């Protein structure tokens, strides 16, 4: 299992808009991203930053996701190439309940 953390400038003005937009995208990620276990979106409104945290079944699935034209276009056009991305091998997971 691989964990990927993305950190980038907020491209939406506030948390409510981020939550609305991201919740609308949930079905796309659940349906269309091979090897994806889960994705979490977050925002630090004070700092003006956002993040995405992914769990993938393996590194090949993660690499395939981030090599798509759609993702590259998002980074170049929406984020103006301001993206920090870090990959981690997962040693353990503690989950008390599914996230909502």
Assigned domain for 99 exists: no
Task: Give the containing element (helix H, strand E) for 43.
Answer: strand 36-44
Q: Retrieve residue 71's tokens.
A: 């993702």
Is residue 99 predicted with pLDDT exceeding 90?
A: no
* Domain count across the chain: 1
* Per-residue pLDDT tens digits for 36-57: 999 999 999 999 999 999 999 9
Domain that holds residue 9: 2-84
Q: How many of the other CB atoms lie within 10 Å of CB of 79?
A: 15
Kindly state the percentage of the chain with pLDDT values over 70. 98
Q: Which residue has the tokens 């276009």?
A: 73
Tell whether pTM > 0.75: yes
Bridge partners of residue 41, in order along the sequence: 52
CATH (domain of 11): 3.30.70.100
Assigned domain for 26 exists: yes
Q: Retrieve residue 98's tokens.
A: 């599914």
Find all residues with CB under 8 Å of 30, minimum gap 6, and list them: 36
Assigned domain for 90 exists: no
């Amino acid at each position: 299992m691989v964990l990927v953390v993305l950190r980038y400038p907020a491209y939406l003005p506030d948390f409510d808009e981020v939550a609305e937009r991201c919740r609308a995208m949930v079905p796309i990620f659940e349906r269309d991203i091979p090897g994806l276990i889960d994705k979490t979106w977050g925002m630090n409104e004070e700092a003006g930053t956002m993040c995405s945290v992914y769990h993938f079944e393996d590194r090949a699935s993660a690499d395939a996701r981030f090599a798509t034209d759609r993702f590259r276009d998002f980074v170049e056009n929406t984020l103006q190439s301001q993206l920090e991305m870090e990959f981690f091998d997962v040693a353990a997971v503690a989950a008390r309940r599914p996230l909502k």
